[in-house]
Amino acid sequence: MTTDQKLQPTLIDRDVDDLATACESPVLADAGPETEKSPDDQGARTPAPTAANANVPEPPPKPYSVFTRSEKWFIVAVTGFAAMFSPLTTNIYFPAIPTIAAAFHKSVELINLTVTVYMVLQGISPMFWGTLSDRWGRRPMFIGCMVVLTLSCVGLALVPTNAYWLLMLLRCLQAAGSASTIALGAGVISDIAAPSERGTFFGIWNIGPMVGPSVGPVIGGVLADRLGWRSIFWFLCIAAGVCTVVMALLLPETLRALVGNGSIAPPRSYMPLIPVLGRTSKGADDSDRPPRRAFANPFILFTYLDVSLLLFLNGLIYAVFYGVTATISTLFQPTYPYLTETDIGLCFLAIGGGMSIGGVVTGKIFDREYQRVKRRLLRQIEADPESTIHPEDVTKDEHFPIEYARLRLMPVFFALYAASCIGYGWCLQARVSIAGPLVLQFIIGWTCISILNGTQTLIVDLAPSHGSAITAACNNLVRCSLGAGCVSVIDLIIKAIGTGWTYVLLTGICILFSPIYFILMRYGPVLRARRRAKREAAAQAYAEKK
């Protein structure tokens, strides 16, 4: 078996528009016999040098992004801070629910409905904001989301206590503004980070949306206790307003259909008020800018079997994680009655600390795994004299087994995650020292963000012909739907079978579907190759009609 038979199909699947444009190119149309391979040159990727081009040096490869490393980190920090508002606005609300119920003279169950409608909008709204960002740009959609969030928080802070319907409506608007920041942030990272460094950036960026569930209850409990429940929404209003101002002043447009690798100046309305990031050039080649996408069906990714399997397993793992965080208050109060409300709020920091550290460390691990797999392929190509694959193809992510590179560590993280969740439930039921559940919370946070970071990066890699914001929106839809379902029934399950068996049941469901990792590492490249073949056939048919 030759090396090219061992290697996996290509990573980068161009979309139909890009292929159709390439087919119409006069360069390809006039190439004719010069691009044909002789029988002795099968597998060559480039034509042999001729007298006309033998002495012409090849131009240096253009960088994936012109933003410097420090500029990328600033963009990641700003978008990560914005993404934190999606879970923060959900969880900061929890400690104040009894107080709000008393203020509005409603039952706790009715006030809990405001949490339900929030999670419903949290899952749906990114599908539309993400579609708009892939067409009209990241920057205007980001600022628009933050403006909606800021104004809705003002309304919630001033809502009269005799207008329960208005409370419900404003919570829906709050979700519509905050929830989409996760999808938009994922799109920005795919714009500025090459696949080889994407894991690190996703790991750091994920700290924002994953720490929100941990610090939210702490902040909300302190504010509601000291300043009243309305202070929660004033705090969110101020924080979101600051983020909006920073974006308006400094955040550059990154959508590659508008700015390419960042060297092409966007329309004036897309420029930040203080344009200090990036290096645009008047002489930039617009041919490097991919065509702007037409409005796409945001649900198209669910027709991809490999992506759907990843989304489903990712959603199950996130649902169990949300089942842990949502029940910390209700489980720790009876188990450790000596804890005050402030103490219980501080217990959320254990799982948040695990996510923060895990996001930084595992992101770098995933990038090293990517490079390790790439170096192994290069050595195989160099050692096989019959190989028809050029090393440059691997460097450019051609014939690259991306599923194996991204998922090979997932079974390890998943095993630790499952064992920690089961142990966490039994520790609480056995009423062991509080140190036990807190240590397991730390491990749960670490392993959960590791799993979510790796799968989110792979989902973006598997669907390059679709906007990264759309892939993140689909991921968010599945996660929020399954998370809402878990939160709505976990109290009933705990009362029926106990805390220990509840987490055995929930984790067991995840274990049941965990072979998806091995299935995708084995058959994912085949599914990816079939999609690519269909797109190429459609592009060829389109070109023939032209």
**Amino acid (one-letter) located at 134:** D
Give the CATH number of domain 69-545. 1.20.1250.20
d(CA 193, CA 218) in angstroms, rounded, equals 33
Write out the DSSP string of 472-494: HHHHHHHHHHHHHHHHHHHHHHH
How is the chain split into domains, by residue range? 69-545
**What per-residue confidence (pLDDT) applies to 17?**
38
| Angle (deg, nearest 10), helices 499-513 and 410-430 | 170
Query: Is residue 389 helix, strand or coil?
Result: coil
What count of Cα atoms within 13 Å lies in the side-chain half-sphere of residue 41? Answer: 11
Of 62, 438, 5, 57, nearest in space to 214 by CA: 438
**What per-residue confidence (pLDDT) applies to 38?**
36
DSSP code of residue 304? -
d(CA 501, CA 144) in angstroms, rounded, equals 45
d(CA 485, CA 493) in angstroms, rounded, equals 12
Which pLDDT tens digit goes with each residue over 498-515?
999 999 999 999 999 999
Contact partners, residue 239, CB within 8 Å, separation at least 6: 85
Which pLDDT tens digit goes with each residue over 135-156?
788 899 999 999 999 999 999 9
Own/partner pairs for 64-70, CB < 8 Å, 24+ apart?
64/193, 64/194, 64/261, 65/191, 65/192, 65/193, 65/194, 65/261, 65/262, 66/261, 66/262, 66/263, 66/278, 66/279, 67/192, 67/252, 67/262, 67/277, 67/278
**What per-residue confidence (pLDDT) applies to 2?**
41
> In which residue ranges of the chain is pLDDT below 70?
1-61, 109, 280-298, 341, 385-399, 464-473, 546
Q: For the beta carbon of residue 285, count every other beta carbon within 10 angstroms.
A: 11
